[in-house]
Amino acid sequence: MKKIVLYICTMIMASCSLIEVHQKESEVAAKSWAEAFFSFDLARANQLTVEESRPWLHFVASNITDEDLDFANSEDASTSAHIDDVTELPGDTMCLIKLVVDNAFVADSIGSRAHLVDEYHTTVTVVKRHGHWMVRMAGLPRNEMQNRD
């Protein structure tokens, strides 16, 4: 009887460890993607994005000017992201990750200059493809921070 209880406890602990590893890998992918995307390092963001979402990155890249890149490169503030919340979806290959990105460079309308946003709140969908966690974009990221007015 003790062996059965010990076996069950071991299996529960092992499954919890796998869930934790799975969650951490998806969080690392989301965080890395956000830091690349919001610092205009679209080549790196492209490597962390699923194939069918890449047209969104190409759209963003086509609207970023040399002035925008100079502005992003001249700022002392570095872009960083942290995880606010993770929602696992059914199965083990997709989750929604809420991020807070500090010092996000944003070009949010065509023809306007990029600007720096101190705190950008967004949610990304992360999927597991061929053993790797990647961001799937259904559109451009939106700032979900509530207006304080």
Residue-wise pLDDT for 114-134, tens only, equals 888 999 999 999 999 999 999
pLDDT per position as a tens digit, 11-33: 555 454 444 444 589 999 999 99
Tally of CB atoms within 10 A around 145: 13
Beta bridge partners of residue 49, listed in sequence order: 135
pLDDT confidence of residue 16: 47
The full set of domain ranges for the chain reads 2-136
Report pLDDT digits (tens) over 35-62. Answer: 999 999 999 999 999 999 999 999 999 8
Which tokens in the block code for residue 4? Answer: 């059965």
Please indicate, yes or no, whether the overall pTM of this predicted structure exceeds 0.85: no
Contacts of 29 (CB under 8 A, 6+ apart): 48, 126, 132, 133, 134, 135
User: Which fold does the domain 2-136 belong to in CATH?
Assistant: Nuclear Transport Factor 2; Chain: A, (3.10.450)
Binned at pLDDT 50, 70 and 90, residue 83 comes out as very high
* Average of per-residue pLDDT across 67-90: 87
Write b or e for each residue in 118-128: b if 16 or more Cβ atoms lie within 10 A of its Cβ, otherwise e: eebbbebbbbb
